[in-house]
Structure 1
Amino acid sequence: MAGALHQHQQELAQDQPAMAWWFLSLAFLGALYAAAFASRLLVSLTLLCLHPPKPKDLRCYGPWAVVTGPTSGIDRSVALELARRGLNLLLVEVANLQEISDAVRSRYAVKTAAVVSDLSLDVATPQGAEAARRLQDAVEALDVGVLVNNAGVVTPGAVFFHEADVEEWMRMIRVNLWGLTEVTAAVLPGMVRRGRGAVLNMGSASSEAIPSFPLYTIYTATKRYVAQFSSSLYAEYSKGIDVQCQAPFFVATTMVTGFSGIWRPSAFVPTPDAYARAAVPWIGLGRGGPLCVPNLSHRILWCLLAAVPGSIHDWVCLREHLRQRRSMFRKAASLR
């Protein structure tokens, strides 16, 4: 018995150097990761707090801005902020443009024009082709210096992929992906001819800062297209035309009404007006490339989430979105 105990103690003693080496290796890797994360966070905060970007006078690109989807949410607030900075607005939306046009003109001494266009229409159809022609004619008659592609669809959301009709997914793709591409194709040639312009495409942190966004699969996939589309245009038109993709986290719009209470207006969830005040000054600023996160609290959140393992991201997002799905079904049942 004593001999066996002595032998076991000897084996433990022999294993201790290996165990110590393994522990030190893990501790070193952990410290290295923590240092890298802390330095990235410190650099981001320094750039944003100590050296905030100096906004451009956006009129240097031209007197007109094209804004898609300007009737509500971030889109409306961005349109009003552009008008406050002296830009005339060409507003593109499927309907209800009179109200936003009146609101702009009543507050600011700028001009407005409107193109009623359903971006969910396929340009291969007669209706879609006619809408594209109206937009093209309107753009060619103006000196457009700024394009803001805001229009987007988030519904259906909080559903499994197989639960929605294919046409619902296709409508989302046509608005978020094809519509943005078509409007850019209408506006960009004029910018190229004049040798100046700025393009802002509204992306999402759900496709850039988070590994997956389950139950919003098509939405986040279309936003990933927006980011890649912007990056490629940024490289193609590196002189004279500034291309940017903004990737915000949650903003207190109707999109987040189904989410948990933590996504109500707060330090990390700005109102649309607050986001627009942060976002518009970043237009045309190429610091760090085409992708940017203008809101300071969103930038901090981006850095913090970078330290969270992907599996935890997946679990938290799926749990929250399943809660939304249950709430949505209960609400639908109560209306029957």
Structure 2
Amino acid sequence: MELKWPDIFLVATCALGTITLFKALISFVKWVWIMFLRPPKNLKTYGSWAIITGSTDGIGKALSLELASKGLNILLVGRNPQKLETTMKEIRDKYGDQVEAKLAVMDFENVNGEEIVKKMEEAMEGLDNVGILINNAGMGEPYPRFFHENDPQIIDAVVKVNLEGPTWMTKAVISKMIKNKKGAIVNIGSASASVVPSFPLHTTYSATKAYVAMLSKCMNLEYEKQGIDIQCQVPLYVATKMTKMKPSLLVPSAEVYSKASSACIGYERECVPNLVHSLQRLFVREVLPHAFCDWFIMRDFLALRKQTLPKDSNAL
């Protein structure tokens, strides 16, 4: 029987619809597996020591305690010696002789790449079995501002902490992992670079986080055959000092986020570990039009900018 063009079109449309539906079903089953059923990796197989930057507050501190609970020794990296001591004491009080904890004072705003590498080599002396590096330290512009309104010092600090910090920390640590033929590096990204189509008035912050995402993807391909898993984890809003938010249904605490974060280490090159965040990402990327997202974010940040501008400001 000879098929006519309307019949061919109908068959092709049905086939395309079936393929699209099948792909969506596979994606859903995969998502359910990752979020609810997939077992976390035994992180101690990477090595006995984990290094965590920005480990005195928020996600970094919560991850330090979470990984210590799994029997990993923790090297805390941060700029505030007193807060580092507090976190170290908390780990030792909670886990006693089960784990070791050390600290390294590092202010990414005031050191260059060569100094970061040198300081970390000194801090890692005697720690041959470094298995995990979590580049968590980050900062953003304190208020929504047009790019030209930001102080040069703010722009420089955001670039140093968010971009140069993880780059040179990775440079300092990865040689040990190559030698051991195993390791995991987690770079904490941001929804501002990986979920929403744009993030105006926080331009430097979102741009540096886009760099972090690409750094992770490229390096994962470079080093996966060396036994090193490199990953960018993408949080949305988490209740931390940086976001100035309290825990809620849509905003997990740092402790809740850290449990999901640790369970994802060693898997996808880029992931959204938290369940609620994953649903929010799906809604923003697959349901909301990009033009609407751009308009809404711009409107929201313009209103916040107006509230935080100095009264004597002559800004636009």
Instruction: Give the TM-score normalised by structure 1.
Output: 0.80
Residue 167 (structure 1) shift: 2.1
Q: Deviations for 1:265-323, whole angstroms, at most 9, x for unmatched residues?
A: 2222100000001111111123xxx0011111111111111221111011111112122
Decide whether the 8 Å contact of 2:116 with 2:172 is kept in 1: no
From 158, 165, 183, the counterpart of 2:144 = 158
Residue 41 (structure 1) shift: 6.9
Decide whether the 8 Å contact of 1:53 with 1:282 is kept in 2: no
**Matched residue pairs, number?**
293
Residue identity matched to 1:99: T
Instruction: Report matched runs for 1:129-140 at 5 Å.
Output: 129-140=114-125
C-alpha distance in 1, partners of 2:191/2:115? 34
From 292, 295, 306, the counterpart of 1:315 = 295
Instruction: Report matched runs for 1:75-224 at 5 Å.
Output: 75-95=60-80, 96-108=83-95, 109-123=98-112, 129-142=114-127, 143-224=129-210
C-alpha distance in 1, partners of 2:118/2:28? 49
Instruction: Report matched runs for 1:1-336 at 5 Å.
Output: 39=25, 42-43=28-29, 45-49=31-35, 52-95=37-80, 96-108=83-95, 109-123=98-112, 129-142=114-127, 143-239=129-225, 240-257=227-244, 264-286=246-268, 290-306=269-285, 307-329=287-309
Gaps of 5+ in 2: 1-13
C-alpha distance in 2, partners of 1:332/1:208? 36
Decide whether the 8 Å contact of 2:116 with 2:169 is kept in 1: no
Decide whether the 8 Å contact of 1:140 with 1:190 is kept in 2: no
Decide whether the 8 Å contact of 1:147 with 1:200 is kept in 2: yes
Residue 149 (structure 1) shift: 0.4
Q: Which runs of 4+ in 1 moved over 4 A?
A: 34-41, 128-131, 330-333
Instruction: Give the TM-score normalised by structure 2.
Output: 0.85
Decide whether the 8 Å contact of 2:44 with 2:71 is kept in 1: yes
RMSD: 2.7
Larger radius of gyration: 1
Residue 45 (structure 1) shift: 4.2
C-alpha distance in 2, partners of 1:231/1:131? 23
Residue identity matched to 1:308: L
Aligned in 2, Cα 1:323/1:254: closer, same or farther, shift over 3 Å? farther
SS for the counterpart of 2:109 is coil
SS for the counterpart of 2:99 is coil
SS for the counterpart of 1:67 is strand
Residue identity matched to 1:235: L
Aligned in 2, Cα 1:47/1:62: closer, same or farther, shift over 3 Å? same
Decide whether the 8 Å contact of 1:200 with 1:246 is kept in 2: yes
C-alpha distance in 1, partners of 2:311/2:133? 38
C-alpha distance in 2, partners of 1:320/1:219? 17
C-alpha distance in 2, partners of 1:90/1:82? 11
Gaps of 5+ in 1: 1-27, 258-262
C-alpha distance in 2, partners of 1:295/1:303? 12
Residue 238 (structure 1) shift: 1.1
Decide whether the 8 Å contact of 1:198 with 1:284 is kept in 2: yes
Aligned in 2, Cα 1:214/1:43: closer, same or farther, shift over 3 Å? farther
